[in-house]
Chains A and B, each alone.
Chain A
Amino acid sequence: MEQTRKEYIHELAIVQEKVAAMGDKACTGVQLAMEALLAGDTELAREVMLADDVLDEMIVDIEDSCILLIAKQQPIAHDLRVIAAGFKISTDIERIGDHAYDIAKTVQDVGVLLDNERLKWVQLLGACAVDMAAKAMRAYREHDVRLADEVRQLDKKMDAIFAHTFYALSEFVTTEAPHQKRITQLLFIARFLERIGDHAVNIAEWVIYLETAERIHKKDKA
C-alpha cells in the first residue's frame, strides 16, 4: 500500500538524528574533560566548558521539535516512544554534558595533583564512564537492545571501580593533609564520573523502552 505521512516520518527521523548528535557531542565532552584532567591541560578544560553552551542549545531545539510533533501529528505507538525517549534521553545527555563541564571546571580551579596509583583509578573510572555513555548512544543510534543491556550490566563494574577510587582518594586526603582541599575536589570528580555512568544506564533503559515498549526500572542504588 502507498506510503503516507512522508513529511512526518522524516521529521521523526530528524529528531532521532538530533538526539544522536547531541549524545556524541556530550560523549566527546567527557572524553576531553578526562584528557584535560589527566594532562592538567587548563586550556583544553576551558574549551570543554565553552562547548556546554552548544549542548544547551541542542536540547532546546530537540524539545521544540518534539513539542511541535506532538501538537501537530499526535504521534502514537513507536512514534510516540521516539518522542518520549527523545525528551528523556536528551535530558540525560544534558546532565552528562554538565558533568563534563564540572570536571573541566575542577581542572581549571584545582589543577591536577595525583600520584600514579590514584591516577590509575581515576583514569579507569573515566574510561568506564566514557565507554558506558558511548555505548548507550550507539545502542540508541543503532536500535541495539543487546548493547543497551550491556550498558546496564557495565553499571556494576562502574560501581566497583568507583568504590576503589573513592577509597584511594579518601586515603590520599588523610596522608596529604596540606592539599586536603584540592584532593576533596578530586573526590567530586569521581562522583561526577559515577553519575555519568548512571545517566548512561538511564539512556540504555530508554533505548530498550523505545525499541520494545518495555519499561525497566533501575533497582534503587544504595
Chain B
Amino acid sequence: MKMTISNLNLYYGEQQALAGVSLEIPRNRVMALIGPSGCGKSTFLRTLNRMNDLIDCVRIDGRIELDGANVYADDMDLVRLRKRVGMVFQRPNLFPMSIYENVIYGCRVHGLSDKKRLDEIVEKSLRRAALWEEVKDRLDDSAMGMSGGQQQRLCIARVLAVEPEVLLMDEPCSALDPISTMKIEELVQELKQEYTIVMVTHNMQQAARVSDYTAFFLNGKLIEHDVTDTIFTNPHDKKTEDYITGRFG
C-alpha cells in the first residue's frame, strides 16, 4: 500500500465533512473517487497532502500514512510532502509566465537552477504529459495562450516535473473536450506504471475506463470501495448502484 487512511474525520468548524473514512491506496494503481457534489471528495483528496492545512477552521483526526510514515506528524516537511504527493486541480491554474517557466516552477521552488538540467526536465515532463510535440517550438510563449486541454496537460507536466510519487487529480477533465479528455485518460494509464494516482471524477464512464479501484463517497462517508470492475458490474451497496446508474444525484 502506498497510502493508508484510517478512521479519518474532518470538520470545517462545526460541520463534519468526512466521517470515519478508512481506505488503502495501492501503489502503481489508479483509484477513482466518485460521489455526488458536496460529498467530500475534494476534501478527502486535500487531506492526502495536507492542503487542508491552508484552511483556517479545519480540524482533522484519524491517521494517514505515506509509505508507513504519519503524514500528520508534527515534524512533517510540508514542502517535501507536497513534492511527493502532487496535485492537479479541476481548472488549469497556470501562472502568467512562459510554458517553460510554468513547467519548472516547482523545481525552482525546490532550489534547482542548472539550465541544462532544467531543459531536460522540461522536455521529459512535457513528453510525459503528451504535450511536447504541440509546444516544443514555442516554449517561451505565454502559457495563457494555450487551449484549455493544453493548459490542463501543462499543469500535469508541472506536477510531474518535481517527480512526485503520488498524483492527486481533482476532476482533471471537467473542462475538456472529448479528445483532450481521452489524451488525459491515456496519460493516466501510462503514468500509473510509475505513480500512484488518485482521481476524482464525475464521469462514471471515465472512472470505469481508467481506474483499477473505485471508492464511492456519500455525505462524507465512504460507502463502498472495490475493484472497479466489481463496482461497475455488481456493486455491493444499493446506494452505490443507484448513484452509478444515475438514479439519484
Name A residues whose Cβ lies closer than 8 Å to a Cβ of B.
1-5, 8-9, 74-81, 213
CB-CB under 8 A from B208, the residues of chain A are: 76
What residues of chain A lie closer than 8 Å to B248, measured between beta carbons?
Answer: 1-4
Task: Answer whether residue B15 sits at the interface, using C-beta atoms and an 8 A cutoff.
Answer: no
Is B235 on the interface with A (CB-CB < 8 A)? yes
Bitwise, B220-249 to A at CB < 8 A (1) or not (0) is: 000000000000111100000100111111
Contact string, B188-212, partner A, CB cutoff 8 A, digits 1/0? 0000000000000000110010000
Q: Find the A residue at minimum CB distance from B218.
A: A1
Known: A1-B248, A4-B249, A9-B247. A74 touches B205 (CB 8 A): yes
Which residue in A5, A9, A76 is a CB contact (below 8 Å) of B232? A76
Q: How far is the CB of A208 from chain B (nearest CB, A)?
A: 13
Q: How far does the alpha carbon of A76 sit from the alpha carbon of B208 in the complex, in Å? A: 10
Contact residues of A: prevailing secondary structure: loop
Residues of B at under 8 Å CB distance from A? 204-205, 208, 232-235, 241, 244-249
Q: Which of B205, B233, B235, B247 contacts A5 (CB 8 A)?
A: B247
Residue of A nearest to B205 (CB): A74
Given A74-B205, A76-B208, A3 and B233 contact (CB-CB distance below 8 Å)? no
Residue of B nearest to A2 (CB): B248
A-B contact pairs, 15 of them (CB 8 A): A1-B248, A1-B249, A5-B245, A5-B246, A5-B247, A9-B247, A75-B245, A76-B208, A76-B233, A76-B244, A77-B233, A77-B244, A78-B241, A78-B245, A79-B245
| Cα A170 to Cα B80 with chains together (Å) | 85
Most A Cβ at <10 Å: residue of B204, B208, B248: B248
In the complex, residue of chain B having the shortest beta-carbon distance to the beta carbon of A213 = B234
Contact partners of A213 in chain B: CB under 8 A: 233-234
Q: How far is the CA of A80 from the CA of B245 in the complex (A)?
A: 10
Q: Please list the 8 inter-chain residue pairs (A to B) with the smallest Cβ-Cβ separation, ordered nearest first.
A: A213-B234, A1-B248, A5-B246, A76-B232, A77-B241, A79-B245, A77-B245, A4-B249
In the complex, residue of chain B having the shortest beta-carbon distance to the beta carbon of A212 = B234
Q: Which chain A residue shows the least CB distance to B243?
A: A1
B247 contacts which chain A residues (CB < 8 A)?
A: 3-5, 9
Taking CB atoms, residues of chain B closer than 8 Å to A77 are 232-235, 241, 244-245
Which residues of B lie under 8 Å from residue A1 when comparing CB positions?
Answer: 248-249
Chain B residues near A5: list those with CB within 8 A: 245-247
- When C-beta atoms are compared, the residue in chain A nearest to B240 turns out to be A77
Closest to A76 in B: B232
- Which single residue of chain B is at the shortest CB-CB distance from A78? B241
Please, how many angstroms separate the alpha-carbon atoms of A8 and B245 in the complex?
10
Which chain A residues lie closer than 8 Å to B234 at the CB level?
Answer: 77, 213
CA distance A83 to B245 in the complex (A): 14
